[in-house]
Structure 1
């Protein structure tokens, strides 16, 4: 009698061979396929496994913050700036918000300037039955005054929002009195341009200007000092700031993660330091961007 072929012992219900441990329990496989983290036949290749590792690594930083918010109220409002295809928003909703969507008014807003991505994200949220997700075709700067967003939000995320868009996300979060910010800055060009422009008179007697005398150092120092200024600005508004590295994002030079929590901390000293750094580096023209008072 011919024996029927048996399934491999490592194959699970979803058809994933030897890969069950890579995907969190309860994770929507349809979502992972739509985000091209899983192949259409439900498998992980080397590239998609790397993407999944990155997403989960970032989620490990954000989940405790969401738990803290949930202890206070369940109707959490999160705004994701420069959302792109909304990878982050969908993963957060699927892993954290989905379970309570029938009883909670928690909401994630994805802000993106490319209308085709906004439309696709909205269609995907409807297809997955994620009612607590909305997508708006706005720039980060325009979202600050948009009436389509609530007066107050709990958390603001900005994953690789280019150049000054990260600063706009910070301004948005400050105006909306966000308790948490999670930022992965990208492409800081504005400060480097100002450093080049003011390299002469403003820093002639400052020996530390050697740190950005050469063009390649100007670019690198510009990127570094931009994030230093952002951290001082956040501290000057009463936030506690933690800066760390996104492990597993080695393919990208932009892997610095800034996490800020509003604590109402003393703001005078960081505000003074912010002003001193701007003056010492010849960047006083950027005071309106790295503002201390709104």
Structure 2
């Protein structure tokens, strides 16, 4: 049986599922059937609190990605997008429904380590007729060398990719000469672990070590340093970087949104400050290679 189509309400309000109340969270023309398949909407077309939070995050992220796709779609170009840590592919399916479907060209690649979620997404895409979606059962790091992906990807996204998976997504974007990256980091523990290892020595060396003397502060400062290093690395690699909130803090504590657009202007000052921060916190040995400061270039290939 066909899923009921959404009616578009008059004015600025969102679509109305048949037999249900108005849902201002939905965009005009958005597929109610898809949202039911993703279990964002209940069978009777309603939202519970958890689903409303998920939908708000993805819809808000779409507002940042849509202008990038519009720019990349000019002159008949077919934009490509790789979504890392795709999970149930909420983001990929909603991007396809709201943008790629009407565009009639372009391709979305969902990259996910859990085989059951990959198979489920493949089946759903086939059922919905979303023919320009591919799902790969790979880690972010593995995807960089995967033959199923093209040599160039226009947009790289990573929504709540845990710990170093965000760094892997950045490395993927640099390798694939991405025109834009949209990242929401999550659960960053690596730098905090490095800070804990040298805590006693650092406390004796500098009063700044008080910033991470307490375990809670170590975790929070480690997360902050990680994202600062990522932003500097992107700037040193030729990207213009914007950092903002994804949604209100009441919806998610993992809320930092990093948007990077390739300009080709590689900031030398960013590379210098990146090096200085790694040295100041004793992180050169652990993180220098990842951020292009030991035996590798901080800049991507020409785009």
Q: Same fold (TM over 0.5)?
A: yes
> Structure 1 13/244 Cα, relative in aligned 2: closer, same or farther at 3 Å?
closer
* Structure 1: 4+ residue segments shifted above 3 A: 200-204
Residue number in structure 2 paired with 1:208: 208
> CA separation in 1, counterparts of 2:215 and 2:17?
53
Q: Does the aligned pair in 1 maintain the 2:82–2:157 contact within 8 Å?
A: yes
Structure 1 residue 44: Cα displacement = 2.7
Residue number in structure 2 paired with 1:266: 266
Query: 2:81 is paired with a residue of what secondary structure?
Result: strand
Larger deviation: 261-270 or 136-145?
A: 261-270
Q: Determine which of 4, 16, 20 is the counterpart of 1:17.
A: 20
> Structure 1 194/161 Cα, relative in aligned 2: closer, same or farther at 3 Å?
same
Larger deviation: 156-165 or 259-268?
A: 259-268
Query: 1:48 is paired with a residue of what secondary structure?
Result: helix
1:100-124 Cα shifts (integer Å, max 9, x gaps): 22xx2x0000000000000000000
Structure 1 residue 203: Cα displacement = 6.5
1:54-133 to structure 2, matched below 5 A, reads: 54-101=57-104, 104=105, 106-133=106-133
Residue number in structure 2 paired with 1:134: 134
> CA separation in 2, counterparts of 1:59 and 1:36?
19
**Structure 1 residue 282 and structure 2 residue 282: aligned?**
yes
1:117-196 to structure 2, matched below 5 A, reads: 117-196=117-196
> Structure 1 53/152 Cα, relative in aligned 2: closer, same or farther at 3 Å?
same
> CA separation in 1, counterparts of 2:229 and 2:95?
29
- Which structure has the larger Rg? 1
Residue number in structure 2 paired with 1:220: 220
Gaps of at least 5 residues in structure 1 are: 1-8
Residue number in structure 2 paired with 1:52: 55
Residue number in structure 1 paired with 2:242: 242
> CA separation in 1, counterparts of 2:52 and 2:197?
44
1:135-170 Cα shifts (integer Å, max 9, x gaps): 000000101111111001100000011100000000
Q: Does the aligned pair in 2 maintain the 1:77–1:108 contact within 8 Å?
A: yes
Larger deviation: 261-270 or 232-241?
A: 261-270
> CA separation in 1, counterparts of 2:217 and 2:289?
25
Residue number in structure 2 paired with 1:43: 46
**Structure 1 residue 31 and structure 2 residue 34: aligned?**
yes
Query: 2:290 is paired with a residue of what secondary structure?
Result: coil
RMSD: 1.9
Gaps of at least 5 residues in structure 2 are: 1-8, 299-303
1:55-82 Cα shifts (integer Å, max 9, x gaps): 2111111111111111254310100000
> CA separation in 2, counterparts of 1:249 and 1:128?
34
Larger deviation: 75-84 or 244-253?
A: 244-253
Structure 1 residue 250: Cα displacement = 2.3
> Structure 1 30/218 Cα, relative in aligned 2: closer, same or farther at 3 Å?
same
The normalised TM-score by structure 1 is: 0.90
> CA separation in 2, counterparts of 1:182 and 1:13?
30
